Structure formats: structure tokens, C-alpha cells
Amino acid sequence: MATGTEPRAVAAGGVHHSSRAAIPERHLRRDRWWLAPAATAAGLLAFVVYSTWRAFAGDHYYAAPYVSPFYSPCLAENCVPMKGGADWGVVGAWWGLSPALLVLIFPLGFRLTCYYYRKAYYRGFWAAPAACAVPEPHARYTGETRFPLILQNIHRYFFYFAVIVAGILTYDTALGFRNADGEWGHMGLGTLVLLANIALIWAYTLSCHSCRHIVGGRLRNFSRHPVRYRLWGWVSRLNARHMQLAWASLISVAVADFYVYLIASGAFDDPRFF
Amino acid sequence: MTQVGRQSWDVVVVGAGGAGLRAAVEARERGLRVAVICKSLFGKAHTVMAEGGIAACMGNVNSKDNWKVHFRDTLRGGKFLNNWRMAELHAQEAPDRVWELETWGAVFDRTDRGMISQRNFGGHEYPRLAHVGDRTGLELIRTLQQKIVSLQQEDHKETGDYEARLKVFQECTVTRVLKDGDRVSGVFGYERESGRFFAIEAPSVVLATGGIGKSFKVTSNSWEYTGDGHALALLAGARLVNMEFVQFHPTGMVWPPSVKGILVTESVRGDGGVLRNSDGKRFMFDYIPDVFREKYADTEAEADRWYEDPDHNRRPPELLPRDEVARAINAEVKAGRGTPHGGVFLDVSTRMPAEAIKRKLPSMHHQFKELADVDITAEPMEVGPTCHYVMGGVEVAPDTAEAVGVPGLFAAGEVAGGLHGSNRLGGNSLSDLLVFGRRAGLYAAEYAASFGAGDRPAVSDADVELAEAEALRPFGAEGAEGAEQDPAQGPENPYAVHQELQQSMNDLVGIIRREPEMTEALRRLDGLRARARRAGVEGHRQFNPGWHLALDLRNMLLVSECVARAALERTESRGGHTRDDHPQMDREWRRINLVCRLVENTAGGAAAADPALGRIRLERQDMPPMRPDLLALFEKEELVKYLTDEELTS
Amino acid sequence: MTYQGRFKVWRGDAEGGGLVDYEVDVHEGEVVLDIVHRIQATTAPDLAVRWNCKAGKCGSCSAEINGRPRLMCMTRMSVFDPAETITVTPMRAFPVLRDLVTDVSYNYTKAREVPSFVPPPGVKAGEYRMMQEDVNRVQEFRKCIECFLCQNTCHVVRDHEENKQVFAGPRFLMRIAELDMHPLDAAEETGTDRKRGAREEHGLGYCNITKCCTEVCPEHIRITDNALIPLKERVVDRSYDPLVWLGNRIGRRSR
């Protein structure tokens, strides 16, 4: 007697598997389901193109008192001198490529393993799936159980590094309150650009799912840890906007870099307020 | 003859709602092999619809609460028609049943000190309802479902088979309780999915099938509520008690038609919602009965002050008991002061800021937004009475839940009668399921265990064949004699018969009842019974809803006749039974239970009886006098309202 | 406000079938399930469909409407253009039984494989104490009505039948998260490691957090953000994070 609890024999296949309702179409969605993944892919691609150009360029990244977030901290000997900035030549002189490449690994790794960006590029680039109830084009699927995608689990390390990087960018932003001669108490449009950027970077970094877990999510009894419970509450509220913050901070970091580029290349003059 | 699968279990539980699952858990924990049969998927039973909570006098919020107070509240709510022994057991055992749910993983809302939170509800003197937001029923069903799974995991560890001692036959319908002489021997039914028949041999059968709401047009009940257990019990020779008492909830949705009857929770009024007619008048002030005058405000000003200061003002009349409010709405609509869609307005939008509404009534806001496209923060709701619950049911022994007169048949939950008397208090149904579900499981297990291997009641092939023929009839349905000449006598569409039944019960045996209308209802039921016998279906037996409905019609017609006959007989108004022609409560009637039984009780009787003749006979039965120590819980002044002078002096 | 609506409903069984056209009256305020019922009551009495409460509380009437997994009782006709032809099919991740009814036994099988709640030893019934802030997370997950739309839409099993063996699906990974976050669950004390189980036995690693489960959830449970990702992080705690390990060594135990 069937009870509805005995599983059927299994064979390979998705929605066209022999046991399923015989519907020739792979999916029957009629809305513009492709719009979101296409837009995501386009946005990410644009950033990749821009950042590749800027990261490899190795110039026009410092215009006192501003440093591009792509190039901070600047860890090679070939960095331009930054007045009081994070130009620590710890790597030495042998490094001949753009110094951005040394440090960009960390924010890149943070974003690459971020739970939101994973969704974005799995959907946008890998179509796994492109949209809900739209079949993916791959014959097999093992998710994040194997190399290399099992490495997504190291997101938390990148979070720790991202906090350090955000700290350094905060320092850079503070330096933005100087003038080109290094005197304090000044401000220009660039200061505002860096401020907006760092605010978004922090919001994005702190809204991270790993952060949410570390500050409190891993606890079983919130009532015994009132402070961490409160922190968890704040992070949770930020976390609800993780996607928006991911995009906003991605755009802001590119804008900040481009702003520095414009000034450093002389294409634009930073309006000074005082 | 088609093949019939046969199996043997110790206890069969029909129904997988709160009562059925609780009974199954109990019987399995007593070491017996238990089969649960349910019409839907496992975990979808109607219990999920319960919102308010489980009434149990744990005293977590007000420590003055105890079982005696709960007992008193229950009897007052039921207008003293309750089976007092059931009410006593219910009040005493409910807290243990709730606490035990926690050990199975239930997560109730908490008090500040980490205990189970309890909320106020109509008719309960203290905050008493354990709850989880407004989805308590879902929590209850899921907890029991997961408890069943955990027992199955134990069995799997021990035997390698999850279903060795506890198996859920989902999407199966039982059409007959089988007997060997006087005793129950098993059940016969079909799998909805495949249409295959099965017979399960078991000395104990627990009915936990819920209510009868699908016999009415406007109801908060789901399709499953076709009175299966009531009818199975009747057909097996058991009796139904108190069937005239049907609870109509005053506020169900009336628009759009597709959701007509869906519940609008009582808390809408508790939080400040008011009822208005199409003239914009708060009409409830015109409907305060004399007995309640002292306790309810007679001006809008005073009523409005009550929400802030309940100690120095009287309650608004919108918070009168369910039966009073339902009757008032009904009267307004009949007097032509209803809304365009035949209800009245229930308004919170002018009473509370939008934010407060969304915070206090999230699911109502969601329900109206999603289903009716009405924003209750900006416009009033339209509401009207909806059939909600049947107080009547199988007459059982209060301690064991065994059906009177049928050894081996047990009943628990809405399908059992007695506990709620003439009117059920909110919150008392979930506790009923747990208390009497457990008792039914316990005594069903004891009874089944009393048999040796060889002396169990046996299922006879003849009974199985009869039951099979009955279930197959809709496929061979032919018109009445002479159908060739008159197409009106041809096979009937079961959906059409069902719709007419619902309309008749709604119009003629609904919330307000009159003798001529009920006589007319009985006449129509005769006609429908004849037509239901000709209900025919197309297609095959695999998941065929038309066939399922054709079979359910038998049950709905039986219980509808019980309701109509009992309602016609009881010439007074009490709780869930309101007679326009006998508007007063009569103390003499309190001593009387109306009991229904099937006229002819042979295995094939259902088919043989003349369809034009009623199938149900009524008997009057005296209420057993209440034990003196329970009687002593009440003040004399209160008792004189309900008990006859003779009862009071003896 | 009544109009003739055009519908395509999938009819058939495991042997085969196809979309059948129906023209049905549509009245104001109706939902897709009403239309299916009208088709049943008028032209196709044997049209198979599951449903119960008709109020979005039982999770029985799951199907796919215009290709999107939805509850039929919670999909209002007013969201469609009257001229539009509406397609209703059964859920496409599960074996079809008949018409709109599918065999959802996969879900019941997986439910049985999740180790149950373990009551804390020595705590009697009636003595359970839990604070509201400790049960909020668990209560969100317990809102689940088991409509199985998340299981149906999850590409891990929808597009790869073979993964059904190794992947419990969002609903039951959420159940593991629920139990792991339950303030009184004593599984760990009795030797059941839910975190390890999530990874090794229930296939948490297959989830690539593309959030379709959250998108289709009629109860608006944030399955991915609040259950699956936290569960993934808990697995990281177990297997990959030295700082947490160090913290546990030095500081007090965080339970």
C-alpha cells in the first residue's frame, strides 16, 4: 500500500526527468526573468574591466592628500611617496608590477567569497540558476562541496582582512582632511568622496554574514550575552541590506578611485572648501 | 471484484489532526502498533487553522488560575450543558498536555521569566491561552508530526524500518468502520491517489476526524470537514449527542466570494475594532441582552474608555459572546442595513494609527491585503457570521473516550461530543484535542492489548465486499427508473448536489432557526439523499475528486439530518442553537441531551434503506446530575439561572 | 466584472500528458484555486488538485503558475491581464501523480532523516525556561507551512534528480538550523553533531545560496539569510576557523 513516503527509483535528469510532468518547455516563465541576471552580469563586468585597467595601470593613484582605495595600503618600494600615508614598502624592491595587485587580493577575495556576490555571479555568469525555476544548463552540479568552490568557506578569513583594509582606508580618509602640503584642518570635494566611500565600505564589511555570525549569530542563548545580542541586532539590520551595500560600496570604491585618477592626471582640479 | 489490500494493526487512528496524532503517539508509546489514516498529506490537517491558543490553567501570567476556575469558565460558556466529567478532566489535565509539547520541541511565546506566555480570551477569567503568535495550531500540528517522526526514528534504529510500529497512511479515506458482532474489527477505505481499496484489521479504532462545516455554505472549515467520523460512528451503531449546537463565528470574511467564511480573529475587536452597519451606526449597543446589561457599556464614550481603563469602565458590546454578536450581525443584514456584499463593517482604520494596526494585527493586515486587496489601515473590513465548529459529536464515556455502545470504537476532538455543551470557548478546542486525544489513545491501546492473538475480532469478506460495492457505486451510477424518458432523472453531478446541500443548511438550519424552515430543510434533505444516491462520476479511480465528493455526500447528508432534526426538536435557545420561535433559555431543557442514532443498523443498511425516509431517529436522554463537589464550585445565584428548582433542592 | 478567462492546465500522469485549454468565468476577487475548482465543478470533475485551507496556512495547493512556483490559493486573478492565457502546471521538481498532484514523498523521506529534538536530560516537563529573545530565530523557521515550494524551486534537486539522494533541500536544512539554534536542544550532549550532519549527511555544501527558496516562500521566511547561511557559518566554526577555536580555548564556552 502506498503511503506516499517511499522514494522512487532515481535516474539522471532535471525537469525533463521521466517521472516528472511531461512539459516540453524547459520553463514557462513569461516575465522578464533574464533582466536581473543580465544587469548583474553587466554591472560586475563593467567593474572588472575598470578595475583591471586601474589595477594594472600603476599610476595616477595619488594626488595629495588623496590616495585611491585601490592602492592603499601600498606595500611595494615602487609606490609613490604618500605624505604620512600607508606607503609601507614591506614587500621590497623586487616587485615590479603595479602595487595595487599586492593588496587588491584581499578586498577581491572578500567580495568574491561574499554570500551576496556568490549569488550574483552564480546567477549572472554561471546561470546556476539564472532565475528561479529556469533550468540551469549544466549536466552535473555539486555546488560548493568540492574544490575549488569549497574554498568559499574561507570567507571569514577575508572578512578579518577586510576589517584591516577598511581600517587603513579610514586612516586614508582622515588624511584627506589635510591640504596638499600636509597641513591639517582642510577639506575638499575629494574628502567627501573618500568619506562616502569609507562609510559604505564599513557598512558593507560589517553587514557581512560572517560578521553577523561572529558577533552573535553563533550563540545559542542570546539572553546570557546581552551586549553581543545587541551587536547582533545591529549587524542583522545592516545585513538585511547586504546586497544594496555590496553594490553601493562597489560603485563608491570605483568612483573614489576615478576621482583620484582625474586629479592625479590633471584632468580635474579638486575644489577645496577650506 | 477488485483487489483489496489487507493489513493488520493494533490501533487504527482515523484523522491526523491534533487529536488523532496525540492518540497515535500515546498508543505507540504504550507499545502497540498504530496506523494513522488521513485524507490529506501528513501535517496539513485543519488544526493548522487554529489561531488563538491552547487553554490550560498553568497560571504563568496570573497565579490565581487553577483547574477549578477553568472548569467554571467552561461550564458557563457551554451554558451548563457540558458533560461535567469531561470538563473536569479537561481542566485538570490541560497544563500537563501543554508542557509535554515543550519536551517534544514546541516553542511557545515566552513570558519575561522565560515561561510559556498566556493570553486573555473571551470567556476565560484569567490569561490562559498558551500561544505562538496567531499560528498556535500550526505549532501544535508540527510538534506532534515531529514527535511521530522521532518515534519512527526510534523504531528505525531498533528494527531497521521506520514504519514498523507507527505508520501514517496519508491521502486515504475511510468509508466504513467494520465490525465483528458488536465489536469493532477494523476499517475499510480507499487510497485517494490510486483509488485502490484497503481493509485494516484492528480491534481498536479511534475517530479523530474533526467537524462538519462543509455541510454549510459559509464556513471557516476546509474540504476535509465532511463529518466523516460522525457518520462512520452512526453507521457503526454509535450515537451522536448535542448535534443541534453549531458555533457560528461572528466575523468571517464575506468578500471576495472565494474567501467567504475565512476567519477574522476575535482580537480585532479586542484591540479596538468596532462593528458598524451601512448607516455608519455602532449597532451592537442595541443588542445587549438583559443578563449582560451590568457588564457592558451603553454609550460609545464609555466603551471607548474601556480600552485604556478597563477597571472603571464597562466593556464595549462588540466583545459580547460569539453567539450574541453573530445574531446581531445577522439581524442587521436581514433588516437591510448590511454592506454591499451582505455583511457589516468591522473597522479598525479609524480607531488606531496604521502603524499600531500593522504591529498588533499583522496576519489580518496580510490576509486582507493578499486575499481581498483591502488595506485595513485605510478602510473597514466587511464581515459576517461563518460556520466554525460543531459542539455535538459521538457520545463517549468521559474517562475513556470510548463510544457508548460500540466496544473498540473511540472518538476524540471535534468529532466527540459533550465537553463543550452548547457553546465552546475559544482556546478550549486545542486543549480538548490533547487531553482527549491522549485518553483515546491510551484506552484504545489498553483495549487492543486485552486480546490474545487468536481472539481478535475478525473482518469478514462479506463486509468488505459490501463496503467495496458501496464505494464503487458512483461509477456505475444510473438514473432512476424511467431515466431514459426524463433526463432530469439521470445521473447527478455530485458538485451540484453538494452546493444545494450547503445552501439549504445555510439558509434553513443556519444561525437563526425557525420551525417551518427546518421542516423544509428536512424535506429538501430527503430529496438530496435520493439524488446523492444517483451521483455519478466520470473518469477512473486515480485521484478523482468528483468520486471522492460523491462518497463524502453520504456523510454530509447524515450529519446534516442530525443537525436539522435535533435543532427542530429543541424548543429553546441556548449557546450555538438559536430559535427565533423560542428565544428563551429553558431550565427544563438543560436536563436533556438529544441523541441521534441511525434507524437501521445492518452492514448493508445504508444502501437498502428507502432514501426518501429519514435515516435518523432522535432520543431524549437525561443529563447525569453533577457531582456535589463540582456543583459547590458555583454560587447558588448563578446556578438558579441554569438548574431547575428540583435539581437545586435534591 | 466577470470575464471569460483563458487557461492552460496540465493534465496527465506519469505516463504523459499535456496542457489542456479551458475557458472559464472569472469573477471579481478570485484566486487561481477558485478557477481550478470551477473547472472541476463544470467541465472536468476528475481534475486532480490538492488543497485544504484555502487561506495560505496549510501549504497544500502548491503549483506553478506561468512558470513560477506559487500557492494557488494565494495567487489573485487580479494580478493578471484578463486577456492573458494563464498556465497552471504541477510542481516540476517532483514526480507527477496526476494532473496538478505530485508525489512529494521526497520531502517526507528527508524529514525523517533529520535527527529529532533531544529534550535536555534532567529537565522535567513544565520546567522548561527559555527567553523570548532566544526563541525568536527558531520561531521564524517554525512558521514554515511545508508547502515544499522551496524544495521544488531549488535548482540543486529541480535540475538534478540524482542530487535528491544527497541533498535534504532548503526546508530540512532550515529544520537543522532550527534545532541547532533551539536553546534547550541537547543533541550535542548526547553525541549528535548537527553541524557536521548538515555538511556530511544533508548536503549543505550543495546550496549555492542563490536564494530561490527565499524568493518563493509564501510565509516570507528569510530561509537563506537566517537559516542556510548561519548554518554554513556554523559548519565553518566546526571545520575551518582557527580564531574561533582559539577563542573557545581561551574564553568561556559560548553556550
DSSP 8-state symbol, A214: I
SS3 state at C102: strand
Of A62-71, B491-500, B610-619, which range is least confident? B610-619
- Is a pLDDT exceeding 90 seen at residue B620? yes
Q: Which of B128, B322, B456, B597 is catalytic?
A: B322
Contact present, B558 and B230 (Cβ < 8 Å) = yes
pLDDT band, very low/low/confident/very high, at B394 (cuts 50, 70, 90): very high
Question: Residue A4: what pLDDT?
Answer: 43
Tell me which residue has cell 491521502. Answer: B171
- On chain C, the residues whose CB falls within 8 A of the CB of B495 are 40-41, 45
The whole-number pLDDT of residue B486 equals 54
Calculate the average pLDDT of chain A.
92
CA distance B427 to B615: 34
8 A C-beta contact, residue B15 and residue B209: yes
User: Which pLDDT belongs to residue A24?
Assistant: 94
List the single residue in C with minimal CA-CA distance to A151: C240
Query: Could you report the per-residue pLDDT of B417-469, keeping only the tens digit for each?
Result: 999 999 999 899 999 999 999 999 999 999 999 998 889 999 999 999 999 99
Cβ atoms within 10 Å, residue B223 = 20
User: What residues 51-110 of chain C have any CB closer than 8 A to a CB of chain B?
Assistant: 51-60, 74, 76, 78, 97-99, 101, 104, 108
Q: How far is residue A262's CA from residue A269's CA, in Å, rounded to a whole number?
A: 8
In this prediction, residue A45 carries a pLDDT of: 97
Secondary structure of residue B14 in the 3-state scheme: strand
Please state the rounded mean pLDDT for residues B330-336.
Answer: 91
CB–CB contact B41 A5 (8 Å): no
CB contact (8 A) between residue A128 and residue C210: yes
The nearest alpha carbon in chain A to C212 belongs to A132
For the entire predicted model, the pTM comes to 0.93
Contacting residues of B for A5, CB less than 8 Å apart: 162-163, 168, 170
Let me know whether B384 and B269 are in one domain: yes
The answer to whether C119 contacts chain A (CB < 8 Å) is no
Q: Does A7 touch chain B (CB under 8 A)?
A: no
Contacts of C119 in chain B (CB under 8 A): 103-104
Q: How many residue contacts between B and C have a Cβ separation below 8 Å?
A: 170
Helices (H) and strands (E) in chain B, counts: 20, 20
- Domain of B541: which CATH number? 1.20.58.100
% of residues, chain B, pLDDT over 90: 74
Q: If phi over 0 gives left and psi between -120 and 50 gives alpha, with beta otherwise, what is residue C59?
A: left
User: Is C230 at the interface with chain A, CB within 8 A?
Assistant: yes
Selected residue with higher pLDDT from B189 and C1: B189
Asked, for residue B425, whether it belongs to a domain, the answer is no
Say if B414 falls within a structural domain. Answer: no
Q: Give me the total of CB pairs closer than 8 Å, taking one residue from chain A and one from chain C.
A: 191
Pairwise CB contact (< 8 Å): A4 & B167: no
Inside any domain, residue B103: no
Long-range contacts of A96-101 (CB under 8 A, 24+ apart): A97/A56, A97/A58, A98/A55, A98/A56, A98/A57, A98/A58, A99/A58, A99/A71, A99/A74, A99/A75, A100/A54, A100/A55, A100/A56, A100/A58, A100/A61, A100/A70, A100/A71, A101/A55, A101/A56
Average pLDDT, integer, range A218-229: 96
Map out the domains of chain C as residue ranges.
3-102, 105-250
Looking at residue C248, what is its pLDDT? Answer: 65
By mean pLDDT, which of A92-106, B139-153, B207-221 is the weakest? A92-106
- pLDDT-derived band at B223, boundaries 50, 70, 90: confident
d(CA A79, CA B109): 60
Is the minimum CB–CB distance between B103 and chain C shorter than 8 Å?
Answer: yes
Q: What was the pLDDT predicted at C245?
A: 62
Mean pLDDT of A179-199: 94
Residue range A200-227: mean pLDDT, rounded: 96
* All cell numbers assigned to B411: 472518538
Separation CA B390–CA B231 (nearest Å) = 14
Indicate the class that CATH gives domain C3-102. alpha beta
pLDDT at A88: 87
From first to last of the 255 residues of chain C, give the pLDDT tens digit.
799 999 999 999 999 999 999 999 999 889 999 999 999 988 998 899 999 988 888 999 999 999 999 999 999 999 999 999 999 999 999 999 999 999 999 999 999 999 999 999 999 999 999 999 999 999 999 999 999 999 999 999 999 999 999 999 999 999 999 999 999 999 999 999 999 999 999 999 999 999 999 999 999 999 999 999 999 999 998 877 666 667 766 765 444
Residue of B nearest to C113 (CA): B153
Structure confidence at residue B489 (pLDDT): 65
Q: What is the DSSP string of B200-263?
A: EE-SEEEE-----GGGSSSBS--TT-S-HHHHHHHHTT--EE-TT-EEEEEEEE-SSGGGTT-B
If you measure CA to CA, which chain C residue comes closest to A217?
C230
Question: Chains with 3 or more CB pairs closer than 8 angstroms to C?
Answer: A, B
What is the C-alpha to C-alpha distance for residues B247 and B212, in angstroms, rounded to an integer? 11
Position B488 scores a pLDDT of: 59
Contact yes or no for A156 and C233 at CB 8 A: yes
Q: Which CATH architecture has domain C105-250?
A: Orthogonal Bundle (1.10)
Q: Give the closest-approach CA distance of B200 to chain A in angstroms.
A: 11
All cell numbers assigned to A233: 541586532
Cβ separation A3–B170 shorter than 8 A = yes
Residues 222-241 of A with CB under 8 A from B: 223
CA–chain centroid gap for B276, Å, is 29
Confirm whether B322 is a catalytic residue: yes
Q: Answer yes or no: is B501 within a domain.
A: yes
Least confident among A68-77, B305-314, C159-168: B305-314
- A5 vs B: CB within 8 A: yes
Cell, residue C92: 516540476
DSSP string, C198-249: HHHTS-GGG-----HHHHH-TT---IIIIIIHHHHHHHHHHHT-HHHHHHHH
Interface check for B188 against chain A (CB to CB < 8 A): the answer is: no
Q: Which of A1-10, A139-148, B485-494 has the lowest mean pLDDT?
A: A1-10
DSSP annotation of C147: -
Is C228 touching B (CB cutoff 8 A)? no
| Torsion sign across C-alpha atoms B536, B538, B541, B542 | negative
For cell 487529536, what's the residue?
B19
Pair A172, A85: CB distance under 8 Å: yes
Domain that holds residue B350: 250-388
Closest CA to B77 of B561, B440, B429, B365: B429
B254 and B384 fall within a common domain: yes
Domain count, chain B: 2
Closest CA to C54 of B43, B261, B362: B261
* Cα–Cα distance measured from residue C217 to residue A132, given in angstroms and rounded to the nearest whole number: 12
Ordered strands of the B204-207 beta sheet: B166-170, B34-38, B11-14, B204-207, B409-411
Please name the residue of chain C whose CA is at the shortest distance from the CA of residue A135: C159
Grid cell in block for residue B256? 471576495
Whether B262 maps to a domain, the answer reads yes
Q: Return the CA Rg of chain B.
A: 24
Sign of the Cα torsion C96, C100, C105, C107 reads positive
Average pLDDT, chain B: 91
Q: What is the CATH number of the domain that holds B267?
A: 3.90.700.10
How many residues does this entry show for chain C? 255
Subunits adjacent to chain B (3 or more Cβ pairs under 8 Å):
A, C
B362 pLDDT band, cuts 50/70/90, is: confident
Backbone φ/ψ region at A37: left (φ over 0), alpha (ψ -120 to 50), beta: alpha
Q: Is A166 exposed, middle or buried (0-12, 13-18, 19+ CB in 10 A)?
A: buried
Ramachandran area for residue B160 (φ above 0: left; ψ -120 to 50: alpha; else beta): left
pLDDT surpassing 60 at residue B616: yes
CB contact under 8 A, A21 and C66: no
pLDDT of residue B588: 95
